[in-house]
Every structure is written in structure tokens, then in C-alpha cells.
Amino acid sequence: MAERLGLERVSAGYGESVILDGTDLALQAGESLALLGRNGAGKTTLLKTIMGLTHLHGGTVRYDGRDLARDPPYKRSRAGIAWVPQERGMFPSLSVDEHLTTVARPGPCTIEHAYGLFPAIAARRDSPGNRLSGGEQQMLAIARALVMNPKVLLLDEPMEGLAPVIVQELKALLAKLIGEGGMTVVLVEQHARLALSLTARAAVLERGRIVHQAPSDQLIADQATLQRLVAVA
């Protein structure tokens, strides 16, 4: 398969601060990746760098073979990269329906299809974003990304702070989306075993560099390496 997303010797951060330091990563079309690492390793910064939200000090970020260095975030989004931020990014004055209609683009995932995936927010389509529960906000954040019909989906801690029943619902949905193979998915998740159970491949960040890559099922079976790299209890 052709490369969908590639990072080559990427150094990036915020202002003069360098968080990613010579990071290399390549993802094929339809591939799923668990991006693991301890707190502060640079996982969120890597996603933000793909979206153009950090200062790129050096290296190349490629999408479908094209260098994205000069593209602002909105152009990357229009090109087919969707990001679900850790903070969810709700607009307090917009209803659920407005969150979706303002970003929806032509493709198989229509707004009604998204509501079918998330019945809980379908029932609240007229409610403003700040009136939703944490779980509902996370569902809306993912639905908002999906109706953009992206080629690449970046998920930053989508399970954080959610009730176990919501985590199970989202896990089942992500398993379905990843299993369909239509999108390249990068999943950042503190629960390493959960992320590995959903993805085909894993990469571990340490101090802004990829220090280990392996098939997800191989890494989850290698408890000593998982403990050493990610400090899994």
C-alpha cells in the first residue's frame, strides 16, 4: 500500500521549545497505530504537529506524498486529516446538530449515519455542547470528526475520564471503524492494553523519539518490554 502519512526527522514544539526531536514514523492507507509512551513523551505534540499546531523546527510531515509544511491546519483538515483533541473542543453556543452540520463533507458518513453510531447524541441534537455530559461530548467530538469523512483520524485520549460503560461503547465503535480499514487511525491512549487491543501496530515515544515499533499483538504479549517502555502495571 502507498504511504498515507509520514514523519521524517521531525523536530517540533512550542516556540523555541523542542518536544519532538528527530521523530520518524510512516503509516500506510488504512493502517491503525497505537501511539504509546509515558506522560510528557510527546504523544499529543506529535498529533498536533501532524495538524500544523506546533512550531516545526525541522524535518518533513507528508500526507499522500505531499509536504505539509506550508499548509495551515484548516487546509490539512480539508485535505482529509481529522483530529479529536483530548479537550474535545466543544463550542458552547452550538447545538449538537450545528457541531456536525458546520463541518460535514460529502462521503459515506453522513450526519444521520453518525447519529446511528451515537444514539445518545441523536436524542440531544438540539442541546448546546456545554450541556452534554463528558461521555456525550466525547461521542460528539468523534462524530464531528467522522462526518468530515477523513482519510486520517487522530484520536487523543478518547477514553479519558469516562465511565466504564461509555468506554466499552467507544471501544466497540473504534474496533468497528478500524476493522473496516477505510481510514488510517492513530490512537493515543494511556491504557496501553486497550489501545493495543484495537490496533494493528504500535509505536512507543520516549523523549520525543520513536524508540520501539512492533505489531500490537506482539507487544501486548511481551509484558517485560511493555513494562519497560510504558510502565504498565
- In terms of pLDDT, which residue wins out, 68 or 180? 68
Q: What is the pLDDT of residue 89?
A: 84
Q: What percent of the chain has pLDDT over 70?
A: 99
C-alpha closest to that of 25 among 63, 56, 54, 57:
63
Q: Confirm if 228 and 59 have CB atoms less than 8 A apart.
A: no
| Cβ–Cβ under 8 Å, residues 152 and 4 | yes
Helix count and strand count (H, E) for the chain: 10, 10
Domains and CATH numbers, the chain: 1-80+152-161+184-232 (3.40.50.300)
Q: What does the mean pLDDT of the chain come to?
A: 93
Given this model, what pLDDT does residue 144 score? 96
Helix axes 164-180, 134-146, angle to 10 degrees: 10
Tell me the one-letter amino acid at 103.
V
Beta strand pairing status for 3-14 and 17-28?
Answer: antiparallel
Is residue 17 a contact partner of residue 63, using CB atoms and an 8 Å limit?
no
Residues 186-207 pLDDT 10s: 999 988 999 999 999 999 999 9
When computed from its CA atoms, the radius of gyration of the chain, rounded to whole angstroms, is 17
Q: What are the pLDDT digits (tens) for 44-71?
A: 999 999 999 999 999 999 999 999 988 9
Say if CB 167 and CB 159 are below 8 A apart: yes
Q: Which amino acid is at 126?
A: D
pLDDT digits 0-9 by tens, 80-137: 999 999 888 888 889 999 999 999 999 999 999 999 999 999 999 999 988 999 899 9
pTM score over 0.85: yes
Q: Collapsing DSSP states into helix, strand and coil, what is residue 152?
A: strand
Model confidence at 219, in pLDDT bands (50, 70, 90)? very high
Task: Copy the grid coordinates of residue 46.
Answer: 506529535
Kindly tell me if the per-residue pLDDT of 224 is higher than 80: yes
pLDDT reported for residue 181:
79
Q: Which residue has the cell 500526507?
A: 63
Per-residue model confidence as pLDDT tens digits over 33-47: 999 999 999 999 999
Q: Is the pLDDT of residue 232 over 80?
A: no
The whole-number pLDDT of residue 69 equals 87
Q: What is the pLDDT of residue 1?
A: 64
**CA 30 to CA 179: how far, in whole Å?**
9
Rounded Cα distance, 211 and 229, in Å = 9
